[in-house]
Amino acid sequence: MEMLQVVRADGEYDAKLEPNLRDEDLKKMYRYMLLVRRFNERMLLLQRQGRIGFFIESTGEEAAQVGSAFALARSDWVYESYRDPGVCLVRGVPLKTLVDQLMANADDPNKGRQMGVHWGYREWNLVSISSPVGCRLSQAVGTAYAAKFKKDNIVCVTSFGDGATSQGEFHSAMNFAGVFKVPVVFLCKNNQYAISLPVRRQTASANIAMKAEAYGFEGVLVDGNDVLASYKAMKAAVDKARSGGGPTLIEAVTYRMGGHSSSDDPSKYRSTEETELWKTRDPITRFRRYLMKKGLLTESEDRRTLEEVENELVSTIKESEKVPPPTLYSMFTDVYAEMPWHIKEEADELMGEKGQ
């Protein structure tokens, strides 16, 4: 299976494959990628300092996140993964909302009830993340089936890692989607590791994309470190699904530069040489070279953009850290439309004991 690639690691590109995007959109993509990179670095630092409890970074996967999200309509539904802050940002989620979630403060729409990096925002059609690996594939297929039944003109996208393809849910979801031709796109971000297990230990197939053939629909292999290739593959898949053409499995080949989470030490299971090799394929460096070759970015503009991103992050973190934690009373809310008398009685008793 041939891998879709528009921009090579050195910034050279195939003009025949370039997607039809405005110069402004290309610059937006680049800024989002920079923001995701610095967000990852900053949040991991905050975790190490004890200012947030847990974090899962996605350094090295910025292109697959931003490129795929750019191809979606506002009305589409996304079952994102915990390695998808870029998807959230492109969808319109404010940076502060993501930081609030990690700090579990009173401004977090979920009131600190979800585990860190488990995004979920109804306003932006981002379904709250479930921790069990693979379960969201079936959820996305169910939503897409309902949309087809109701004749809603939407597409569902579910994002997952290579490890999820070893779960039974992957096969169940793919089979149902193929049989009923539901408007869903499966985005497998193959970052080479399911925590410490390399992808070569998960499948004997030459790649993951080819597995779609067994379920009766198209599989696409794409360079996940190429933001334009990621966009192009997702745009084609979404357009096909929206027009009644059924599902697509996209395998975006990328690399997880950091650990699985802030609790992981990747040096225990992979070599420095491997990581250094993938650094030469860095998605941000690649796209920067592309923009400069196109005359859309200068060195001074690049420095200014990075400075703007840095300032936005610093000010946002300061603002979020001023927000107090959720009130005790919040543990009784958001369960019933109208609070039952016995729950209200318990809430009032607790607040009275706490003098609030």
Q: Which of 256, 281, 286, 289 is catalytic?
A: 256
Q: Which of 37, 83, 260, 286 is catalytic?
A: 260
| 37 is annotated as an active-site residue | no
DSSP 8-state class, residue 266: G
Residue type, 332: F
| 32 is annotated as an active-site residue | no
**CA distances, 159 to each of 89, 137, 270 (Å):** 15, 8, 24
| 121 is annotated as an active-site residue | no
Dihedral pair phi/psi, residue 80, rounded to 5°? -75, 170
Give the Cα separation of 103 and 116 in Å (integer). 8
Joined together, the tokens standing for residue 134 give 């693979």
The residues, ordered by sequence, that sit 6+ positions from 158 with a Cβ below 8 Å of its Cβ are 78, 79, 136, 137, 139, 140, 141, 173, 184, 185, 186, 187
Joined together, the tokens standing for residue 193 give 């590791």
Query: Residue 276 belongs to what H/E stretch?
Result: helix 272-279
Residue of 89, 83, 90, 64 whose CA lies nearest to 228:
64
* Residue 4, beta-bridge partner list: 222
The set of catalytic residues is 256, 260, 269
